[in-house]
Amino acid sequence: MNAEIIAVGSELLLGQIVNTNAQFISKGLADIGVNVFYHTVAGDNQNRLTSVIQTAKSRSNLLIFTGGLGPTKDDLTKETVANVFQKELVHDEVSLTYITNYFLQTNREMTPNNKKQALIIKDSTILPNDNGMAPGMAFIHEDVTCILLPGPPSEMRPMFNKYAIPYLHSRLDVHTKLHSRVLRFFGIGESVLETKLQDLIEKQSNPTIAPLASEHEVTIRLTASHSDESTARKLLDDTEQEILKRAGSYLYGYDDDTLERQTLNTLQKHNLTVASAESLTGGLFSKAVTDLPGASSVYSGGVVVYSTALKQSMLRLPDTIVEKHGVVSIECAKWMAEEIRKQTKADYGISFTGVAGPEEQEEKPAGTVFIAISDKDQTSSFSLKLAGSRKSIREKTVKYGFRYLNQLVKKGQ
């Protein structure tokens, strides 16, 4: 089956709301083995929506619509769909009674246009709306299946799960499921990782391999298609092992893992704390930690020491380091990490210094980064040469900090 999701609403095109419905439906269809090849958005215009439907039914045999089932004049979905497929619209008496009773019970006037919400395409299967007024509907015309769902997510999601999915199972004999696993990599670019896996990607069939760059990381989504879950898992396991032979040193997690969450979990597991001293990153590390629930159990606190004078006064940075090495140096980073650990009595101290750009500092180019991590036994330091915007350099620096800290904590336990 080749599915196309058509979201209807000018507010989507204007950027006033985000099309989360398409994402939700795509995931639900993937879980039952239905391929989604197109996402389309159309405004509240009958001519343009007609054109969209004509194109969609020429290339897809499952069309799922969201939005445009309400009472106003710009709610045109079912009227347009009915016209394209030469279907008649009729009032569903059950839905009309439900809508009428709702207005009576809430002591509100029912304007005539609300009756429009009870209109359905003749001979379609009604999908009840347990959380709103306008029912959904589904029908098959020749070899094209159409499902119409309301736009509000609070109505669409339960209707899709409770009624649309069973409809697809019963009418279209969908049994094969898609099973996915996301591998998360850090410290390697998308193009480099793809090069390492080029032969696997070229010969992929089942599972499929899809690299994707996001938030300064790279993910690989493996998707296996099979009716038997254990067989699908074996397919995923075998492909994952081939990938890890080539790039396993960059793998840090799976599915919804994040470097930040993983590091916090590692510190919590070993009952350890960390404190931070930030120059280059200006508090981004502190924010990333404290954004996570449970951060108070592992994060002692931190300081942003952006100026040289503040580094000297708050962290007692010696004049000799400033004069001999500068504040953009390994030596400065080490001192900062050690001093913040001692002052806060944390188990680990982490520091960040460097040049975010765009100008040079201390004759060092933008992207020069130094990170240090101190514990009671030793201080480790890391030098990086990063590229990108000022914002990107700072964000990537924090990511590297979490990665290094997580590795050192695991190694030390």
Q: What percent of the chain has pLDDT over 90?
A: 76
Dihedral (Cα; 26, 27, 30, 34), 10-degree rounding: -30
Q: In angstroms, rounded to a whole number, what is the distance separating the alpha carbons of residues 208 and 232?
A: 12
For the cut 90, the answer to whether the pLDDT of residue 58 exceeds it is yes
| pLDDT at position 32 | 79
Task: Name residue 269's amino acid.
Answer: K
Q: Could you tell me the sign of the dihedral formed by the alpha carbons of 27, 31, 32, 33, in that order?
A: positive
**Where does the pLDDT of residue 54 fall: very low under 50, low under 70, confident under 90, or very high at 90 and above?**
very high
pLDDT tens-digit readout, 102-130: 888 888 888 888 888 889 999 999 999 99
Residue 112: its pLDDT value, please? 83
For residues 28 and 48, give the distance between their C-alpha atoms in angstroms, rounded to a whole number: 27
Supply 113's token pair. Answer: 């246009």
d(CA 60, CA 143): 10
Decide the pairing of beta strands 89-91 and 62-66.
unpaired
pLDDT tens digit string along 297-316?
999 999 999 999 999 999 99
Name the range with the highest mean pLDDT among 28-42, 200-214, 360-374: 360-374
Judged against a pLDDT cut of 80, whether residue 70 lies above it is answered with yes
Please give the share of the chain, as a percent, with pLDDT higher than 70: 99
CA dist 19 and 212 (Å) reads 20
Report CA-CA distances (Å) from 374 to 279, 297, 343: 16, 19, 12
Binning pLDDT at 50, 70 and 90, where does residue 172 land? low
Cα–Cα distance, 368 to 325 (Å, whole number) = 14
Average pLDDT, the chain: 93
Which domains does the chain carry?
A: 2-172 (3.40.980.10), 177-254 (3.30.70.2860), 259-412 (3.90.950.20)
Residue 174 predicted with pLDDT over 60: no
The C-alpha atoms of residue 78 and residue 120 are separated, in whole angstroms, by: 7
Q: Give the residue, 176 or 396, on which the prediction is more confident.
A: 396
**Cα four-point dihedral sign 70, 71, 72, 74:** positive
What pLDDT was estimated at residue 264?
97
Picking from 163-177, 191-205, 265-279, 388-402, which range would have the lowest pLDDT averaged per residue? 163-177
Q: What is the DSSP string of 209-262?
A: EEEEEETTEEEEEEEEEESSHHHHHHHHHHHHHHHHHHHGGGEEEETT--HHHH
How many residues comprise the chain? 413
Looking at residue 113, its pLDDT comes to 83
Q: Give residue 159's pLDDT.
A: 95
Half-sphere exposure of 103 (CA within 13 A, CB side): 14
218-273 residue pLDDT tens: 999 898 888 788 999 999 999 999 999 999 999 999 998 999 999 999 999 999 99
95 has pLDDT over 90: no
Mean pLDDT of 339-344: 98
221 closest CA partner among 231, 232, 207: 207
Rounded to an integer, the average pLDDT of 334-338 is 98
Say whether 130 sits in a helix, a strand or coil: coil
pLDDT of residue 175 exceeding 70 = no
